[in-house]
Amino acid sequence: MKTHIVRIGFWFALLLTAARGEDERAILKESPARLVACMESAARANLLAAYVNITRDAVQKKLRIYAVSLPAKTGQFTQDGYQIEVIYNNDLALEGKTAGGAYHLQHNHAVLGFAAAQFASGNKDLGLRLTRLLAAAEPDLFWSSPTHSLMTIQQIIAGLEKNDTSVAEFLKDESGAWADILKRYGP
């Protein structure tokens, strides 16, 4: 109980300090350009770490998807020799709502690229299953390119199910990107 009182006191003092504008943290004295550069660097580092992890996971046939949606079915699944684990953590889901370039979001997008490459190379069942799991885990996931307007994960699934031309650019772009990721960051 004493620990909770100390914590409450700490947060109350912090709120009072912030309310009076006396927050003297050094980071708040940095220029906006420096802060943006740091955030962008952190997002790039998260993306690169996701690439390194996904390429190794794909070779080991063990993939992970981070769910930010509570209704997502979590657990272990098997598809075409791949073990797929869907994980939900409430704290991660809450943090992901405001975190730009968070690792779990970058990771899920890399899994989407792998799924697209699998579908395009003929392993349609694995590609579609991963995409469906991603849609349940992260319903706001999307894809776009400089030459193609935004496609929601639901639109991607619809195109993959029909195996029509609506996903042709997505498949070509993501398959090419996956090949590059594998070459640059793979084991």
pLDDT in tens, 9-28: 444 444 444 545 567 888 77
pLDDT per residue over 110-162, tens digit each?
999 999 999 999 999 999 999 999 999 999 999 998 988 999 999 999 999 99
Domain ranges of the chain: 31-185
Average pLDDT of the residues of the chain: 87
State the pTM of this model: 0.82
Close Cβ partners of 160 (under 8 Å, ≥ 6 residues apart): 119, 124, 127, 128, 131, 167
Distances from the Cα of 19 to the Cα of 23, 32, 68, angstroms: 9, 21, 32
pLDDT at 96 over 80: no
